[in-house]
Chain A
Amino acid sequence: GAVVSQHPSWVICKSGTSVKIECRSLDFQATTMFWYRQFPKQSLMLMATSNEGSKATYEQGVEKDKFLINHASLTLSTLTVTSAHPEDSSFYICSARDQMGTSGSYNEQFFGPGTRLTVL
């Protein structure tokens, strides 16, 4: 089956620093990846859609200058949380859509294991 990895799996940082999270599709190519955020005891909320070779599309209320997304290749998208603050502490989950069917599951979306960010 299709595998999506995230790195790191957890990170602790000081307030004011920037943190980069990587999302990789390991055995398929993804022109579109998605970033979600999940606060404790809540559901996953879509933050942005990451498009290979073009700008990301952000959901209403998500600051694009704070959450920088780069999708430079068909297998890698990165989310950078700039000037992180304690309220940014959350579980960040990415997913990748196999629009070319290279995984054998055409157009299905596969989720990474998540990255837990704690900002002190």
Chain B
Amino acid sequence: SQQGEEDPQALSIQEGENATMNCSYKTSINNLQWYRQNSGRGLVHLILIRSNEREKHSGRLRVTLDTSKKSSSLLITASRAADTASYFCATDRDDMRFGAGTRLTVKP
């Protein structure tokens, strides 16, 4: 079964805008990770945030984690057409379970 939900399910923005995706989960976690997947391809690991961390940055990515609300968000700033992909959160405890994903389309 999946761990939780992501919203929105789909997001369409213009190049240069920011994109925010949210993830909620149900159980306690060791860490939460965000992945990117282009259509028909494998997963690309973006960022890992541990349960005792609240915010993490990597380039144009910013991830927050609120364990009291069991939620996380991924912010992509200054989006590019090449950012078009599906984005998944995954919670890691004994095993790793994925959210439903957000399909991001960045229009040039």
The interface of chain A, by Cβ under 8 A from chain B, is 34, 36, 42-46, 49, 59-60, 91, 93, 95, 107-109, 111-114, 116
B42: interface (CB < 8 Å): yes
Interface string of B47-81 (1 = CB under 8 A from A): 01000000000000000000000000000000000
Contacts of B99 in A (CB 8 A): 43
Are the C-beta atoms of B42 and A113 separated by less than 8 Å? yes
* Bound-state Cα–Cα, A111 to B96, Å: 11
A34, A43, A93, A114 pick with most chain B CB within 10 angstroms:
A43
Interface string of B1-14 (1 = CB under 8 A from A): 11000000000000
* Bound-state Cα–Cα, A119 to B37, Å: 23
In chain A, what residue has the closest Cβ to B90?
A: A44
Are the C-beta atoms of A93 and B96 separated by less than 8 Å? no
Contacts of B97 in A (CB 8 A): 46
Are the C-beta atoms of A43 and B42 separated by less than 8 Å? no
Min Cβ gap A99→B in Å is: 11
B1-43 interface (Cβ within 8 A of A): 1-2, 30, 35, 40-43
Which listed residue, A45, A93, A95, A114, touches B2 by the CB 8 Å rule? A45
> 10 extra interchain contacts, Cβ-Cβ under 8 A, other than A43-B88, A107-B30, A111-B45?
A36-B98, A42-B100, A43-B2, A43-B98, A45-B1, A46-B95, A93-B42, A95-B96, A111-B42, A111-B43
